[in-house]
Amino acid sequence: MTVAQTAYSASEPITTGLTALERFGHVERPDLRYTPEIAEATAPIFEKVKHFIPAIEWAALAPTIHAINKLKKERNAVILAHNYMTPDIYHGVADIFGDSLQLAIEATRTDAEVIVQCGVHFMAETSKILSPEKTVLIPDMRAGCSLAESITGADVRALRERNPGVPIITYVNTSAEVKAECDICCTSSNALQVVESFGVDRVFLVPDKYLAANIGKKTNVEVLVWDGACEVHERFTAEELRDYRRIEPDVKIIAHPECPPEVVAEADFAGSTAHMIDWVKTRRPEKVMMVTECSMADNIASETPDVNYIRPCNLCPHMKRITLGKILDSLVEMKEEVVVDPEVADRARTAVERMINLKI
């Protein structure tokens, strides 16, 4: 089953029987001409992205950025953006950006009535699970994830039946249905601490076999795996990294733990997207290679002009479904609304809140 085929649809009512557009009302579609006023209002944003977005392209993007930022206020909406969003989204319209853990925590903190999740479907679903009273929109319902699609709730139930008493930890990159069946959630920021929090000899960490293997190497706990993988990170190879090191011997290589263990073994550091960003910002290596999705280096380059980025990146086709145009459509048409069955959401919330309450 693909993400787009799950039980959530744009027009599905919450409890009122009304669509989000009916609940929030119509607004006029903004005029998207590049005027001197818009050029002036968006100049500080252009300053941050001018190394990646040429002025001629900015003239096409700036009116949409301006319109989104105005509409956000009118709709009482907040934009939560993952670190893999493109620089126009990350620097132009995001209110909060971060890794999966930071976005989940922010979803519990915001006072806004509407969350526009700029990321993939499981992230929007996690926001909805944590803030069921809020309207959560995703600009493209088809933004899925190879990890989330690799496992179902029935798979977890079968795993539990065959392995009674073994805790099952789910990586956050799963559907609400899977979270509802697991004992606790984790992200790449806190997976090791979550694994060790049970004080037992064996745990399952599903569905990313590479994250599980990488965490297993750091602990005495036996970490049992599921056969899922991130289609972006599994494409990196250790050979490729060694080739880069031969050409650039002083390059620092930092990798995401969704990469295969032999790739992580070649890296100087491995961590979540937020930890990778912090590492570069604090260490300031002269040359760095971020072994992860392409937009990461683009997004922090303007804040780290002294760092040279070597870019063997892979694009996440799901993350890249989220564009400025679709974010604007989301706010104008109040689509596409993420709805989670309340009974499933309650059980999934327990798993996510257990993780947040560990405060690691």
- Across 35-62, b (16+ Cβ under 10 Å) vs e yields eeebbeebeebbebbeebbeeeebeebb
Question: DSSP code of 235?
Answer: G
Residues 3-62 that bind ligand SF4 (CB under 6 A): none
How many other CB atoms are found less than 10 A from the CB of residue 157?
A: 12
The verdict on 232 binding ligand SF4 (CB under 6 A) reads: yes
DSSP character string of 111-134 = --SEEEEES-HHHHHHHHHH-TTS
Residue 148: CB minimum distance to ligand SF4, A: 7
Please report, as a single letter, which amino acid is at residue 170: T
Q: Smallest distance, Å, CB 228 to ligand SF4?
A: 9
Q: Which does 187 bind (CB under 5 to 8 A by kind): ligand SF4, ligand 13P, none?
A: ligand 13P
Return the one option of ligand 13P, ligand SF4, none that residue 206 interacts with (CB less than 5 to 8 A, by type): none
Map residue 148 onto helix, strand or coil: helix
Q: Which one, 120 or 328, has the nearer CB to ligand SF4? A: 120
Which of 6, 117, 187, 299 is close enough to bind ligand 13P by CB under 6 A?
187
102-141 footprint of ligand SF4 as x/- string (CB under 6 A): ------------------x---------------------
Report the residue from 6, 42, 64, 100 that binds ligand 13P according to the rule CB under 6 A: 100
214 touches ligand 13P (CB under 6 A)? no
The token duo for 119 is 């990321």
What is the smallest separation between the CB atom of 230 and ligand 13P, expressed in angstroms? 6
- Tell me the C-alpha distance between 329 and 317, whole Å: 20
Q: Which residue, 69 or 323, is less far from ligand SF4 as judged by CB?
A: 323
Contact of residue 272 among ligand 13P, ligand SF4, none (CB under 5-8 Å per partner type): ligand 13P
The site that binds ligand SF4 (CB under 6 A) totals a number of residues, namely: 13
Do 312 and 239 touch, CB atoms closer than 8 A? Answer: no
Specify the 3-state DSSP secondary structure of 249. Answer: coil
Of residues 186, 155, 158, the one with CA closest to residue 173: 186
Q: Are strands 202-206 and 287-291 parallel, antiparallel or unpaired?
A: unpaired
Tokens of 281: 């910002």
- Counting contacts by CB under 6 A, is residue 173 touching ligand SF4? yes
Site string for ligand 13P, 267-286 (x = CB under 6 A): -----xx-------------
**100, interface contact from ligand SF4, ligand 13P, none, CB < 5-8 Å by kind:** ligand 13P
Residue 86 makes contact with ligand 13P by CB under 6 A: no
Q: What are the E-state strand segments in 44-192?
A: 77-82, 96-98, 114-118, 135-137, 168-171, 184-186
Q: Which helix (H) or strand (E) holds 56?
A: helix 55-74
Instruction: For residue 42, state whether it binds ligand 13P (rule: CB under 6 A).
Output: no
- Quick one: what does residue 231 bind among ligand SF4, ligand 13P, none, with the CB cut-off 5 to 8 Å set by partner type? ligand SF4
Nearest of 274, 332, 284 to residue 74 by alpha carbon:
332
- Based on CB atoms, which residue is closest to ligand SF4, 230 or 264? 230
- The contact set with ligand 13P (CB under 6 A) reads 83, 99-100, 173, 187-188, 230, 258, 272-273
- The contact set with ligand SF4 (CB under 6 A) reads 120, 145-147, 173, 230-232, 258, 293, 316, 318-319
